[in-house]
Amino acid sequence: MNTPTRFLADAALSGLARWLRLLGFDTVCVQEKAGRPLMRQAAGEDRILLTRRRDLLERQFSGRLLLLPDTAVAKQLSFVLGKLSLEIEARNLYTLCLSCNQKMISLERRNVRDLVPEYVFEHCAEYTQCPECRKIFWPGTHRRNALRFLKDNGILVSGAEGL
Ligand SMILES: [Zn+2]
């Protein structure tokens, strides 16, 4: 089995990092300005370095690096998925916190009664929580909007037919 693809994105790519997390790819986004520490961290953690910095291409680097085009986030996302031939699985969507990159933990419905809007509680049976920021997620409008955004941009999600 292949190890899952993981990324390290530079600060200019925080929007892309959120989308990669939404799709279930472990993506660290760093504010670091210098190139060398970025490369060292990426290589050390076996992450593919995503950057907009052309100068990094000229440096010696044992890891993998993708130079991203200066385009809208949807195009950047397509670029990464295409270059690496990555497949998107519907069941991996929203498994990571979009802000913290932490794996979301399942919550029992009875435990969220006071934590989510009543309407949501009435209609939704599945909840997850980020162990770091404690934010609670549930399948809903944002998930449908994300799927529509991906579809509109020609990004295929397998297993999304029933969602
Ligand atoms: Zn979080």
For the four alpha carbons of 22, 26, 27 and 30, in that order, the dihedral sign comes to: positive
Q: What is the pTM of this model?
A: 0.91
Ligand 1 center to 70 CA (angstroms) = 28
Ligand 1 center to 58 CA (angstroms) = 35
Number of domains in the chain: 2
pLDDT, one tens digit for every residue, the chain (163 residues): 467 899 999 999 999 999 999 999 999 999 877 889 999 999 999 999 999 999 998 888 889 999 999 899 999 999 999 999 999 999 999 999 999 999 999 999 999 999 999 999 999 999 999 999 999 999 888 888 999 999 999 998 988 775 5
Residues 72 and 96 grouped into a single domain: no
d(CA 132, CA 124): 23
Ligand 1 center to 102 CA (angstroms) = 6
Q: With contact defined as beta carbons under 8 Å apart, do 153 and 73 qualify?
A: no
Tell me which residue range forms the domain holding 123.
Answer: 92-158
Residues 76 and 14 grouped into a single domain: yes
Judge whether 38 lies within some domain: yes
H helix and E strand count, the chain: 5, 9
Ligand 1 center to 60 CA (angstroms) = 34
Ligand 1 center to 55 CA (angstroms) = 32
